[in-house]
A and B are shown apart, each in its own frame.
Chain A
Amino acid sequence: MRAINYRPDKTWRLALAFLPFALLILTYIIASDIRLTENPNDKLLPSFAKMGETIDAYAMKPDTRTGDHLLWADTSASLTRLIAGLAISTAIALVLGIVIGVLPVMSATLGPVVAVLSMVPPLALLPILFIVMGLGEASKITLIVVGTSLKLIRDIALRVEDIPREQLIKAQTLGASTPQIALRVVLPQILPRLIDSVRLEIGPAWLFLIAAEAIAADSGLGYRIFLVRRYLSMDVILPYVAWITLLAFLMDLSLRLLQRKSFPWFAEARAA
C-alpha cells in the first residue's frame, strides 16, 4: 500500500500522539541522570523528583515572606491580566471589525490606519506604556490589548467580507436595514469565526504578558520565572513553563468546545 493511503486507526493514532512526548521526557531523564551522577549539585537539569518537591512547596505550602501559595497566586495574577486583555481586545475587534467589514465608508476611513498600526511591534511600545500608565496592571493589560486587537480587527473585517455577496443582497430584498443586517446576518455568522481568531491570538497574548511581567511586576508566572532565573532555579522554571503551556492548551480547548456547543450550524456548514 502507498504511504499516503495508510491511515492509523484510533488506538494507533493515540499511541502515535503520545510517542513524541514520551521520547522527549525519556531524553530529559537520561540527560538529567548523566549530569546528576557526575555532579549531584547540578542545577541545569534537575530530576523529576526535585521538581516535584519544589512544586509541592510552591503549590501546597504558604510562602514564608508573603504567606501566599506562590503557584496559585502567580497563576491567578497572570490569568486575570491575560483574560482581561483578551476580553477587551476581542470586544474592540468584534465591533470595529464588523463596522469596517460592513460599511465601505468606515473601511475607507479605518482600514489603512489599522493596517499601518498593526505593523507596529507591540513590545517596542512597552516602555511608553510603562511611562504613561505606570507599572501597575493597566500597562500590562494594555500591552496585551495593543498586541492582539489590531490583528483581530483585520481578521474579523476580512471574515465579514468573506460572507457571500448573495446573502447581503438577499437580506436587502427581505427589507433589512443596515443595523438589522449587521445584527442578524453578519454578527451571528462572525461569532464562531471570532472564536477561531481568538484561539490563534492566545499564543501572542501569553508572549506579551510574560514580557511585561518579566520587566516590572510583583507577581505572575512570567515574573516568577525571571525572578528565579537569577538563582539558576531550573526546578522552578521548567515546571512553570509546563504549567503555562498546559494553561494555554486548556484555553484553546475550551474555546474549541464553546464553538462546537454554541454554534452547531457552523460545523455543519463547514463540512458541507
Chain B
Amino acid sequence: MNAIVFDKVWKEYGDHVVLEQINLEIETRSFVALVGPSGCGKTTFLRLLLGEERPTRGSILVEGVPLKAEPDADRGVVFQRYSVFPHLTVLGNVIIGREFEKAGALGRLFGRARKQAEDDARELLTAVGLAGQEAKYPAALSGGMQQRLALAQAIMRRPKVLLLDEPFGALDPGIRSDIHVLMRRIWNESSLTVVMVTHDLSEAFELGTRIIAFERPRNRPEELERYGVRLSADIPTPPPTAPALPKGATITKDIEIWPKKVAGSPGVLTRHGHSAPRS
C-alpha cells in the first residue's frame, strides 16, 4: 500500500502556477527527500501534504483515504524554526501531544494518566539524547537540541507520516551529522514514512531512500507565471548497506582540489583582474 499518492495535483495562486501536474506515489516506510532550487515549490508541496493548503486540481490520498483539508495527527511535522512551544518545559513539550490526545477541552492530564505520559516522555527524551534537560525551557537549549526535542514531540503522537521542512538547515555541520544518525534511527525503529524538504543534496542522499527533484521546465520570465514546477528527477538511492559507523576517525577519502591553489601566487590575482606584474 502506498502511504501517499499525489494524483494529477496542480497548485495555482490566481494566475500563478506553482505546481503543475504532480503525479507521485510514495511507498509506506520510505524516506523521501525533496530537493530543488529555492522558490521552486518544495515548501508548497509540503504545505499541501500538511493540509495547510488545498490543491487547485487533483487529489492527495494518505493510506488510500483523501487527505483532510487541515493538519491532523496522522501527519507529524518538524519545521526549521518555531517547532516547539516556548512556554512549556522540555518535558511539557513532549507530553502535550498525549494531553491533546487523551484529555478533554482543557488539554491537561492528571494523576496516573499524567504519570504514564511523563514516563513515556522521559523514555523518548533519553532516546533522542535529551535526558537531564526535562525542566529546561526551549530557549535554554541549543539549536540542535531544540530540533531533537521537536522530533521527540512529533514522535510521541505516533504519526503515520513525518514531514520535515528543512529541519536541520540551520545547524552546524557537526551537530547536523549527529542528528542525522538520530533521524535514521528514528526512521528505522518507528513505523514512519518520512518526507523531508532540504536544500542540502548530501543530506538528501545520506538520509533518503528516494530523492525527488523539483524544477521549472520553462524558466523564461514570461513563462514563469503560467508554467509550474514539475518533478524532474526521481532517484531511488541504493538500500543502506550495513551501517558502517566509524569507530574512530580515519581518512577515507583524500581529495586534492584542482587547479592547485597556492597562497600568494600571482596567477590567482591576475585571473581576477588585479594588477599583478606581468613578467
Contact = CB atoms under 8 A, between A and B. Distances in A.
Nearest to B103: A180
Given A189-B86, A265-B86, A265-B137, A169 B107 contact: no
Contact of B72 (A164, A167, A172, A266): A172
Interface string A152-182: 0000000000001011011111111101100
Contacts of B81: 164, 166
Contacts of A268: 86, 137, 139-140
Given A167-B82, A175-B101, A189-B87, A183 B107 contact: yes
Contacts of A173: 50, 71-73, 75-77, 154, 157, 159
Contacts of B84: 170
A25 B135 CA distance: 50
Nearest to A272: B139
B73 A170 contact: no
Contacts of A48: none
Contacts of A170: 77, 79, 82-85, 153
Given A169-B77, A189-B86, A271-B139, A176 B52 contact: no
A92 interface: no
Contact of A175 (B52, B85, B100, B105): B100
A108 to B, nearest CB: 18
B93 to A, nearest CB: 10
Contact of B82 (A164, A177, A271): A164
Given A166-B83, A171-B85, A268-B137, 15 more contacts: A169-B50, A171-B96, A172-B70, A173-B157, A174-B100, A174-B156, A175-B157, A176-B107, A180-B106, A189-B87, A265-B137, A268-B86, A268-B139, A268-B140, A269-B137
5 contacts: A170-B153, A171-B96, A180-B99, A180-B103, A265-B88
